[in-house]
Every structure is written in structure tokens, then in C-alpha cells.
Amino acid sequence: MELTENQEMYLKILDEFIEQEIEPRIKELDTVDEYPVWMQQRVAELGFTRLVAPEEHGGLGENMTTLLLLIMRACRYNNTLGSLINCSNNANKLLSFANEQQIETFLPRILDEGRFMGMAYTEPSGGSDSRAVQTTAVLDGDEWVINGTKSFISYRSAVGSWQVSAKTVNEEGVEGISVFLVDAQAPGVSYGAHYDKFGWCGSDTGDVYFKDCRVPAWSVCGEVNKGLHVSLSTLDGARLVIGARAVGYAEGAFEKAWEYASTREAFGRMLTDFQALQHYFADMYSDIEVSRGYLMHLASELDAGRSVGKGGSIAKLKCTTMAQQVCQRAMEICGGMGLLKDFGLSRYYEDACVLITGEGTSEIQKNIIFKSIKKDRR
């Protein structure tokens, strides 16, 4: 695809940042499981935290296509960098439902500081079922009191505000689910130890606890008892972002395997001279290109104001599956070297595996796709 002048400029700035500041610390980023605050600060200084936010709110007003291009490039090198490039998309999520007080309080944390608006939805007994909420929010005068536990929550150290789902009762006595915006450092919010997990090094994943956490009435996102609409309304773009991460991981793994195979001799020949490996590379390259092309198509649809509900699920399903397969094949090509942490290839496979679960498992995406197919044929 032909890039705009702005896209070329942003990619050049990102490439220089990666070359000068990310690559020299890549082994540290791959092995030290701590959130890199320094990276967050630098990404904010470079302006990427304003990328797709509207200009009238202090953003740069770029589109989804530009965002995905940058995320793909970032994830060739480091997963957390990809997350930080996506930070500006949090501003658009906030603006899609927020009231004036929420915007005034929390938008600067995203644009100026690069702090995420975290999604505290998943619960120990809920998993992918967004309706299986045990956390409660009870109205007490002009405040809501929130109690509950959220689990498998990532980037806790980087969050400025939490979107928290909770069971509520409205003025008519009807029960439902609402979503609240809660200051990450509010009294009553605490954090458990981070999980020692597979993949996404530095993402600070763990539990978030809400114990008698009191928030003002204006903290409700949208309307009381209509929180599922708020939580599900931003998933189109989120699933494309997951797809872009997947393509970035696959590209990084491909390049690593190509570099190794084109310099490694076996039986007197370079590995790239063996037809079996040539076919591996042809398949990997083709899968990456097809995935990227479909993502760019969907991004252009979103940029034109059209919904990509089914397409977003297809992209999430196929791109993440592709990334896992490409990264695994890259490790096979590199043999024993691919298993070594210092070699820097295994992290792509680990990070790709995480994507299979995020923003709805593959099985959830298949359910959505089938329901859409069925609806189209009525």
C-alpha cells in the first residue's frame, strides 16, 4: 500500500526510537518482568500517545490505518511498545461514552502521560463471559461503593483509570451490569502480586481488588445497567489491534528465522538452499501478507465510518492463529538456537500464544462469526 506523508514520518520516528533506545535494551525487556516506565515516558514525549485522538481534544487526528501500521512495526521488536503505541486509542474509547467530568479528569492521563484506561472486566469465575460479574456497586447518597475482584488484568502499573464492570440496581429496582471509571489510585483499590506467566514480559498482569471503593456518581459510563453496551462497543477496533500485534510478531519471527537460515550452513549448503525450507518461508511470507492485507482493508472500513463486527472477529481469529503457526515454524527452522532465550526468537511465539486468549478466545470469535453468517442468511 502507498503510505501518506504523515505515515512515513511517524514510521521514521518510530524506527529511529527503536534503533536508538529499544534494540540496545531488548534483552533486558525480554527477561526483566517489570513494566518499563522509561518507555512509557519516551513514547509520550514523542507524541505517539496522541496519535489517533481527535485534534479538538489535543490529539493528532490520525486514523486506524496509521495506528495499525505503527503497532505492526512496534511489535516486530517488543510487545509493550506495541501496547504503548495503542495508548492513544484509549482516548477514542473514552470519548465514545464519557461525560464531561470523566473527560476532564482522565483524558490528560492518556494524552499527556501515556497511562492506559484499563479494562477491569475479567473475574476469577467469569473468564470470557462478560455477563458473569460478581463485583457489586451500590449507590450510597451521591457515591457508588464498589466491591469485588478482577483477575488476569494486564499493565496494572501503567493504568491511570479503570473501566470496572459491576452488578447494579437502578432506581426502578431492576438489576443489571454497569461500568464505572475509577481512578487507579483511588482509596479502596489495591493490587495483588503479578503473575509469573508465559509471554508478555513486563506487562504486570495480576489481580485488582476493589474494597469499599467509593466513587462519585459521575463515574458511571453511559447509563446505569447498560454497561455491556459500553464494554462491547469498542471491541471492533480492539480486535484489529490484536490482529496488528499478531502480524508484527509474525514479521519479527520471520526476519529472525530468515537471518539465521541465510547465514547457517548444513551439509555444505546454506539452509535457504534447501527446498523444504524455501517452501516454509514461502508459506510464512504469504500468510503474513494475506493477514496484513485483510487488516488494512478492515482499517479502511473503520476509517470510513463502517462497522467491522464480523470482520474484526475474523481478523482476530485468523491473524492470531497465523502468528502462532509462523512463530512456531520459525523456531523449527532455527532448531536448537530457536529455543535459547538469548537468541530472541522464542518471545515471539510466547507473545503470539497470549493473543489467542485476549479480546475473546478463538472459540468466542467463531461463535460471533457463525451468528453473523446465520443472521445474513435469514
pLDDT at residue 129, rounded to an integer: 63
Write the CA distances from 6 to 70, 77, 92, 365, integer angstroms.
12, 22, 20, 33
What pLDDT digit, counting tens, does each position of 169-204 carry? 988 888 999 999 999 999 999 999 999 999 999 999
pLDDT for res 1: 79
Give backbone dihedrals phi and psi of 181, rounded to 5 degrees, phi first: -100, 120
Q: Is 128's pLDDT higher than 70?
A: no
Q: Side chain identity at 271, as an amino acid letter?
A: L
Q: What is the pLDDT of residues 285-341, one digit of tens each?
A: 999 999 999 999 999 999 998 988 899 999 999 999 999 999 999 999 999 999 998
Q: In whole angstroms, what is the distance from residue 160 CA to residue 162 CA?
A: 7
Average pLDDT over residues 155-166: 95
- Name the nearest CA neighbour of 178 among 245, 226, 239: 226
pLDDT for 238 equals 87
pTM for this model (two decimals) = 0.92
Q: Give CB contacts under 8 A, 24+ apart, made by 127-130.
A: 128/360, 128/361, 128/364, 130/165, 130/228, 130/231, 130/232
From residue 91, how far is each of 55, 75, 77, 122, 367 by CA, in Å? 11, 21, 24, 21, 29
Kind and range of the H or E run holding 136: strand 136-140
Confidence band of 127 (pLDDT split at 50, 70, 90):
low
The per-residue pLDDT for range 60-100, each reduced to its tens digit, is 999 999 999 999 999 999 999 999 999 999 999 999 889 99
Confidence (pLDDT) at 229: 74
Q: What are the start-end ranges of the H helices in the chain?
A: 5-17, 26-31, 37-45, 64-75, 79-85, 87-97, 100-111, 227-233, 235-261, 275-303, 309-334, 346-355, 362-376
Cell of 221: 459510563
DSSP β-bridge partners for residue 226: 177
Task: Dump pLDDT digits (tens) for 241-260.
Answer: 999 999 999 999 999 999 99
Which of 231 and 58 is assigned the larger pLDDT? 58
The secondary structure of residue 222, as a DSSP letter, is S
* Three-state secondary structure call for residue 125: coil
Strands 189-191 and 175-183, sheet pairing: unpaired
Cβ atoms of residues 209 and 189 within 8 Å: yes
Mean pLDDT of 48-57: 96
d(CA 324, CA 334): 16
Of the candidates 157, 160, 44, 178, the one whose C-alpha atom is nearest the C-alpha of residue 107 is 160
Residues that are catalytic = 359
Q: What domains sit in the chain, N to C, each tagged with a CATH number?
A: 3-113 (1.10.540.10), 117-223 (2.40.110.10), 227-375 (1.20.140.10)
Q: What share of the chain in percent tops pLDDT 90? A: 81
Phi and psi at residue 119, in whole multiples of 5°? -105, 105
| Contact (CB, 8 A) for 145 and 174 | no
- The Cα–Cα gap between 187 and 14 comes to 37
State pLDDT tens for residues 201-229. 999 999 999 999 999 999 999 899 988 77
- In the chain, what is the greatest distance between 2 CA atoms, to the nearest angstrom? 80
Q: What is the 3-class SS of 280-344, one letter each residue?
A: HHHHHHHHHHHHHHHHHHHHHHHHCCCCCHHHHHHHHHHHHHHHHHHHHHHHHHHHHHHHCHHHC
Q: Residue 300 and residue 240: Cα distance in Å, rounded?
A: 11
Q: Is the pLDDT of residue 132 over 80?
A: no
Q: What pairs with residue 189 in β-bridges?
A: 210
Residue 320 neighbours by CB distance under 10 Å: 30
